[in-house]
Each structure stands twice: as structure tokens, then as C-alpha cells.
Amino acid sequence: MVTSPVVNTYPLSSYTFGTKEPKMEKDTSVADRLARMKVNYMKEGMRTSVQEHNHPHILLLQIGNTFCKLPGGRLKPGENEVEGLKRKLSSKLAANSLQPNWQIGECVAVWWRPNFETIMYPYCPPHITKPKECKKLFLVHLSEREYFAVPKNLKLLAVPLFELYDNVQRYGPVISTIPQQLSRFQFNMVST
């Protein structure tokens, strides 16, 4: 009998949420983001980014009233994936005065952007020799209690897996597949 990896999860009531100074988005639209990505690609090559998710609720950052993204983001050239993810998580979710001990688990998904368009694939198309972005999603194990502080211009959402499932229109093709990516894990809800 094959056993699934176990992920301990805790009730949302175990966590405290606050705010910190705004962190301005570099782009005002998807088109601006793709244009900036193209400029950066010319300077640094393929973009590498990491994203965070954990337990039966996925933490998402909401920008404005509609656009949601996973906490995480672009790595510095040559930066270690795990250390870069910890840096991005602290930048987006941690209070300025305290740094959580982020427990980065395994990579659960890899997405590829073959060109400077919005579409991403869960594989690198064979005819693409120079992909423009590789986005990796990692499982992050949260401690039993945590304090999250997000920039005032963002909203932290805890979205249940069932809401993400097959909801491409609301969350996009990457976030909406997280339930499938996590289906191989067994979730252990720990009551506090």
C-alpha cells in the first residue's frame, strides 16, 4: 500500500493578520508586466519565480478587487530557490520586525511561459528553446501560530481548495490547478 505524504494543517483562527506599509506593484496591467518581463529577459535571461501555498486554504494576495496571485515572485539572478522564496514570503507576508522560520517543502508544480504572452503551460513545449519564465510552486509548512502582515495596498485571502478547483475564470490556469497538484498529499487537521 502506498502512503501519501502528510501535511499538518491548523485552523485559520490560529493565525493573526495585520498590515504594513504599502508595497507598490511595478506594473499597472498584465500588458505592462509582460513588457517589463521582456526587458528583464533581454538583460537576465529566463525568469525564475517561486510561489507559496499550504493547507486546505491557500493564501493569496489580492490586488485591487479582482486580480489574485500567490505570495512569492521573481528570484534574483543566481539566487537559490528556497532562499529566494523565503525572502519573497518575508517581504510580502511577514511583519517588518520579526522573520518567520519558513519551512519550505517540496516543489508541487512547475509552469512555463514560452513567450511574452499571458499563457503558461505545465510543461515546456518541445519547440521552445528559450522559455521566458519558469514558475515553481512549493508547499510551505506553516507553524501552528503565525502573524502575517501584508502591505496595506494588498489584501490577504485564505481561499479554500474547493473554491480554486476548476475556477480558471476567477483564479487563472495556475492557481486553479493547485487542488490537483495537492491531491497526492494527505491533510491532517491539527486542532489547537
Q: Model's pTM, two decimal places?
A: 0.78
Its domain, for residue 86, covers 6-20+54-101+141-185
Structural domain count of the chain: 1
Measure the CA–CA gap between 174 and 192, rounded to whole angstroms: 32
In a domain, 149, yes or no: yes
In a domain, 36, yes or no: no
Phi and psi at residue 87, to the nearest 5°: -65, -45
In a domain, 26, yes or no: no
Give me the chain's average pLDDT, please.
85
Check if the beta carbon of residue 166 is closer than 8 Å to that of residue 180. no
In a domain, 174, yes or no: yes
In a domain, 40, yes or no: no
In a domain, 88, yes or no: yes
Ranges in the chain, pLDDT < 70: 1-2, 47-55, 192
In a domain, 39, yes or no: no
pLDDT of residue 50: 47
- Read off the CATH number of the domain in which 88 is found: 3.90.79.10
In a domain, 96, yes or no: yes
Count Cβ atoms below 10 Å from residue 59 Cβ, excluding itself: 22
